[in-house]
Structure 1
Amino acid sequence: MKPNDAGPAIPVFKLYGDSVEWPTPDLLHCESIADRSRLHNWEIRPHRHADLTQLLYIRRGWAEVEMEGVRTRIEEAAIQVVPPLCIHGFRFSERVEGHVLTLANPLLAQLEAALDGKQAALRSAGLHFAGADRRYLNTLFEAIDREYRTPAPARDLLLQSLVGVLAVWVGRQMLVRQEQRPSRGQELLASFTRLVENDFCRQRSVEGYATQLDITPAYLNTLARRFTGHTAQGVLHQRLLLEAKRQLIYTAMTVSQISDQLGFSEPAYFSRFFKRLTGQSPKDFRHHPSGASSQP
């Protein structure tokens, strides 16, 4: 481990208090601040997310935000952007109102392509006050929350469109953002996850990724374990699993077609892979997606 990466162990979560697995085939997760924080006595202790960006919208009440050891008290409507790998924690008033929107890395990549780089604001820690846009943001987050909780035709498309609107708003606040420079290890891990996102269906070897990053496979595994809770191979497997879940739920593709698209040599191998990670066969998951329980 390099000197810049030394320090106390910080918990890595997908969602605070949950396992390191992403709990849904959706590319985003939306909940009220109270939903999770009241379970932890209104305090979310310092932790980090390996490959997720969070947008914390304080609508009413107060919050104390800790970002990489720096504490800020928020007493007016604002959005706090929490990028991947950033150590953060929160303390809230019991009357706080607002939402936490969590975006998976594939959705960030889609936004980056659609917004011609403006999505970079979502990869930098920043506190953006709502100001005169408070009602606008209230309406936008309410729409995202309502659509997230209500199954309906074209739900996925509408959710991504609404998040795109939010990304544009944040991008326009770049002049007041507060950036946090990642460590060398964080930069390497971020580069690795981008490479995985670009070609996960090829199922390349860990050695191949390490060579491309000009580091050893052992060091890549060390970084992956520290920042994600998975080995480097596990990071690839989790991305494949997410895509498999999405294809099973949102398309009519057969298991064989999904297996082929994701680079598996045969459907039987894909089915064993899926069941090992979820406890369900692909067919069972397609009919009962809420019953999946990912295995470490």
Structure 2
Amino acid sequence: MDARRTTPTPRAVPDLPLHRLQVPLPHLLPFAIGGFDTIGPLSRAGFPHRHSFYEIVHVTGGRGAHVLDLVHRPLAPPQLCVITPGQVHYWADADELTGQVVLFNEDFLLGHPQDLAALRTLAARPGLGLGEQAAPIAALLADMEHEYRTRPSGFQSVLRASLHILIVRALRAGAPAGRPQPPGRPAELAAAFTRLIARPGGVRHTVASSAQELGVSPGHLQTLVKRGTGRTPGGLIRRQQTLEAKRLLACTDLTVRQIAKEAGFADPAYFCRFFRRETGMTPGEFRVRVDGNHHDPRIASIAAVPDGP
């Protein structure tokens, strides 16, 4: 099966495709699991692209590197690579990739909403080494793939429960930094807010429009997001705008004027001042430096910051 399909984004951004989840059993569950060959050629795509879904890749073999939001990590199997909606990633010079690819939509996690924040924490740590969790995770994924292929009675419940266990074990592998937020209204609202602004086009949201979409007042959003993340909603929006601008500068041929608009700025001159204040470089300087250079800390600094406090 080809579980992913490249489609233009709404208000398509040139040269930055959006992969949507296309599964063989969409009436049963928004989920797929299989090897790289089973999932399809897009599972090892070597060009920058986004997802509208979540992806967990269990890399068991191969050479090359995984690039996630400009962070370049050489492959060192066994490891997990977690990609969340809106992030830009690709496989650089990858050869003989082996392992399993797990694809799912947010709907598949309704029973464990805290896992959404955990996935964003994991996605901020590209190329997660598994340590003593390697064998349990490999066995768990093998069982999940068997459930998915054979579809015995109750397989949907088993897959949902197994995915939750997989996320918990991945957090254990990344401890102490991989620590989920405690459940509760501040953490839940903060997670919903960060997902909202992380979606393609999400950086156009203001604090007021975000509050309206989430069904709370701007003041309440301010209080709970600050309590849940240690950061203000405005600060998180600015960080996401900077990251989006970095993605587009590095991965497309859009002009600075076009990138300013995509990053939520009506005035290109103001965008340039904003970008320089946030990164220490003009957009043009950043675009020159990022070409083949994944070691300048100013390039990847924002991409590597998790959403938790």
TM-score by length of 1: 0.51
Query: Corresponding residue for 1:12?
Result: 18
Q: CA-to-partner distance for each residue in 1:138-157, whole Å, 9 max, x for gaps?
A: 11111111111112111111
Inter-CA distance 92–161: structure 2 relative to 1 (3 Å threshold): farther
Secondary structure class of the residue paired with 1:45:
coil
Alpha-carbon shift at residue 89 of structure 1 (Å): 1.1
Q: Which portions of structure 1, spanning 4 or more consecutive aligned residues, are displaced by more than 6 angstroms?
A: 181-184, 187-191, 210-214
Structure 1 residues 26-76: Cα deviation after superposition (integer angstroms, max 9, x where no partner): 131112123346x369534211122x2110110122342111122211122
Percent identical: 17
Question: How far is 1:190 from its partner?
Answer: 6.8
Cα distance in 2 between the residues matched to 1:190 and 1:123: 16
What is the number of equivalent residue pairs in this alignment? 182
Task: Give the secondary-structure state (helix, strand or coil) at the position aligned to 2:87.
Answer: coil
Deviation of the 1:121 alpha carbon = 1.6
Amino acid at match of 1:141: L
**What is the RMSD of the two structures over their aligned residues, measured on CA atoms?**
3.9
Whole-Å Cα distance in 2 between the matches of residues 42 and 86 of structure 1? Answer: 16
Partner AA of 1:122 in structure 2? L
* Structure 1 residues 216-255: aligned runs within 5 Å: none
Partner residue in 1 for 2:133: 133
1:77 offset after TM fit, Å? 0.6
After superposition, the C-alpha distances for 1:169-213 in whole angstroms (9 at most, x for unaligned) are 1233253459xx97984369779xxxxxxxxxxxxxxxx849879
Q: Kindly tell me: are residues 30 and 165 of structure 1, through their superposed partners in 2, closer, same or farther at Cα, counting changes over 3 Å? A: same
How far has the Cα of 1:87 moved from its partner? 0.9
Residue type matched to 2:30 in 1?
A: L
The separation in 1 between residues aligned to 2:107 and 2:78, in whole angstroms, is 28
- Among residues 116, 121, 126, which one is paired with 2:118 in the alignment? 121
Following the alignment from structure 1 to structure 2, what is the Cα–Cα distance between the partners of residues 184 and 59? 33
Find the aligned partners of 2:162 and 2:48 in 1 and give their Cα distance.
29
> Aligned with 1:135: secondary structure?
helix
Where 1:10 maps in the other structure, the secondary structure is coil
Query: 176, 194, 198: which is aligned to 1:186?
Result: 198
Structure 2 Cα separation of the partners of residues 66 and 79 of structure 1: 13
Question: Is the contact between residue 133 and residue 169 of structure 2 (CA under 8 Å) also seen in structure 1?
Answer: no
**Are 1:27 and 2:30 matched, yes or no?**
yes
Distance 1:22 1:103 in 2: 13
The answer to whether the 8 A contact 2:137-2:169 is kept is no
Q: For the Cα contact (< 8 Å) 2:66–2:92, is it kept in 1? A: yes
Query: 1:91 and 1:109 mapped to 2: Cα distance?
Result: 33
One-letter code aligned to 1:32: G
Q: Secondary structure at the match of 1:60?
A: strand
Q: Which residue number corresponds to residue 249 of structure 2?
A: none
Matched position secondary structure for 1:14:
strand
Query: Residue 144 in 1 paired to residue 144 in 2?
Result: yes
Q: Please name the residue that 2:70 is paired with.
A: 69
CA distance in structure 1 between the aligned counterparts of 2:70 and 2:86, rounded to whole angstroms: 13
Paired with 1:162 and 1:58, the residues of 2 have a C-alpha distance of: 18
Separation of aligned partners in 2, 1:41 and 1:158: 24
Evaluate the alpha carbon distance shift between residue 149 and residue 63 of structure 1 in structure 2; reply closer, same or farther with a 3 A threshold.
farther
Is the Cα–Cα contact under 8 Å of residues 119 and 171 in structure 1 kept in the other structure? no
* Equivalent in the alignment of 2:103: 102
**Under a length normalisation based on structure 2, what TM-score does the superposition of the two structures give?**
0.49
Contact 2:86–2:200, Cα closer than 8 Å, also in 1: no
Q: Could you say if the C-alpha distance between residues 69 and 158 of structure 1 is closer, same or farther in structure 2, counting changes exceeding 3 Å?
A: same
1:42 touches 1:91 (CA, 8 Å); kept in 2?
no
Equivalent in the alignment of 1:59: 60
1:106-146 CA-to-partner distances (Å, cap 9, x unmatched) read 1233222xxxx354221241332111222211111111111
Contact 1:121/1:174, CA 8 A, preserved across alignment? no
Change in 2 beyond 3 A, CA 1:36/1:213: farther
8 Å CA contact 2:36, 2:101 repeated in 1: yes
Report the secondary structure of 1:97's partner residue.
strand
Matches within 5 A, 1:259-270: none
Structure 1 counterpart of 2:50, which letter?
R
Q: Are the counterparts in 2 of residues 108 and 119 from structure 1 also a CA contact under 8 Å?
A: yes
Q: Which consecutive unaligned segments of at least 5 residues does structure 2 have?
A: 1-11, 180-192, 204-211, 219-309
- Please list every run of 5 or more consecutive structure 1 residues that lacks an aligned counterpart in the other structure: 1-5, 192-207, 215-296
